[in-house]
Amino acid sequence: MVSLKRAILLFTVIFFTVNPFTVRAQASEISTPEEIDAYSQHHVKDDYYFSLFSHKESGKHYGFALPVILIDNGLKVFSSAEFHHGDVVVEKEGQFYKLYHSKIYKTDAAGTITYDEKGFPTNEKPWDFSITKNVAGLIIATILLFWAFLSLAKTYKKSANAIPTGMGRILEPLVIYVRDEMARPNIGHRYKEFMPYLLSVFFLIFLLNLMGLTPIGFNVTGNITITFGLAIVTFLITNIKANKGYWKHIFWMPGVPVPFKILLAPIELLGIFTKPFSLMLRLFANMTAGHFVIMGFIAVIYLFQDQLTLGGSIGISMLLTLIIFVLKLLVSFLQAFIFTMLSSLFIGMAVEEHPEHH
């Protein structure tokens, strides 16, 4: 118990001393609500550069750049550091590119950005296959998961009754939990067919959520395109593997009067698409909101630095942030559990054998 308390204390100290918001705010001396909002927005957005901190007076940024990969009249690969956080127009083989609001646009040597009547940029964008923060987070999570599960598989390869060691001791209870609490009750005797997907999506979301709590600035599950992709996979598996009884209960429900069948069929058909939509939106909204709340509480230090003493503002900020941070640890697991549980439930409904069909 003592070691756990020490670990929590150490993590809290590291979070507040290394957190990009805290470090960049100290270096830049931000104080206005607009500047604080800009830093919070930057932390949760995808980017081509891992920014640790910057200095306002010198204009220098500290961190490490990611590779930019563009397809525009050929392949163009270069470091995102050449953009200097959008201050410099990059020229490659006679083409000019500008980083503007976390997107790369084609422009001229002066970096001109044109807008439509609603204020949106109209510049052409090249095909962008760059390694952004979200892509880097997915790659790191994939490597970690492969390493962890391969080590667990090697243990079982030696003997089916072997006791896992190392990372396997952490993974095995979670694997059993997914199998016994989600797959078996919701899918039934065909649960083994879908276990690879359920395990993959559970551990991927859980690991990405934990990575989002680190000071580096990952927010992969807070990106709606990522949650959309995960929801689409669940949607495809559910409808491709669905049996005849599933489709019959959607388009022509047995035991229901014909007028009601005609009335309910469009509603049931709409439900096919609302299920993955709820998966996508729930994960995205919860993780993004958590990031904004934590960043907002940290901003208390700088927003009220004139009204409160430094110790008072830091104490209030640390207490509130620690409470939300511990809550987000629970939410990280809970969101992975909910997504996997609902996916197994939707799959189970699609492959369920109905008694009237026997």
DSSP letter string, 150-204 = HHHHHHHHH-TTPPP-THHHHHHHHHHHHIIIIIHHHHGGGHHHHHHHHHHHHHH
Residue type at position 279: L
Q: Can you state the angle between helices 33-44 and 258-298, rounded to 10 degrees? A: 120
Q: What's the pLDDT score for residue 271?
A: 84
pLDDT at 22 over 50: no
Q: Are the beta carbons of 114 and 100 closer than 8 angstroms? A: no
Average pLDDT over residues 143-148: 91
Give the least confident one: 50-64, 87-101, 300-314: 300-314
List, as own/partner pairs, every contact residues 116-120 make where C-beta atoms lie below 8 angstroms and the sequence separation is at least 24, other chains included.
Answer: none
Higher pLDDT, 353 or 223: 223
pLDDT tier, 280 (very low <50, low <70, confident <90, very high otherwise): very high
Angstrom CA distances, 34 to 38, 40, 41, 299, stand at 6, 10, 10, 11
Spatial distance between the Cα atoms of 99 and 105, rounded to a whole number of angstroms = 7
pLDDT tier, 145 (very low <50, low <70, confident <90, very high otherwise): very high
- Cα-based angle 210, 4, 310 (whole degrees, multiple of 5): 75
> Which tokens belong to 304?
């009220």
Residue type at position 3: S
Burial class (CB in 10 A: 0-12, 13-18, 19+), 131: middle
pLDDT tier, 140 (very low <50, low <70, confident <90, very high otherwise): very high
Phi first, then psi, for residue 256 (nearest 5°) are -110, 135
pLDDT tier, 17 (very low <50, low <70, confident <90, very high otherwise): very low
Q: What's the pLDDT score for residue 255?
A: 73
pLDDT tier, 77 (very low <50, low <70, confident <90, very high otherwise): very high
Give the least confident one: 128-137, 212-221, 288-297: 288-297
Higher pLDDT, 84 or 348: 348
Residue type at position 151: S
Give the least confident one: 237-241, 264-268, 277-281, 317-321: 317-321
Spatial distance between the Cα atoms of 85 and 99, rounded to a whole number of angstroms = 7
Average pLDDT over residues 241-251: 83
Average pLDDT over residues 330-345: 91
Note the pTM of the prediction, 2 decimals.
0.79
Q: What's the pLDDT score for residue 264?
A: 78
Average pLDDT, the chain: 79
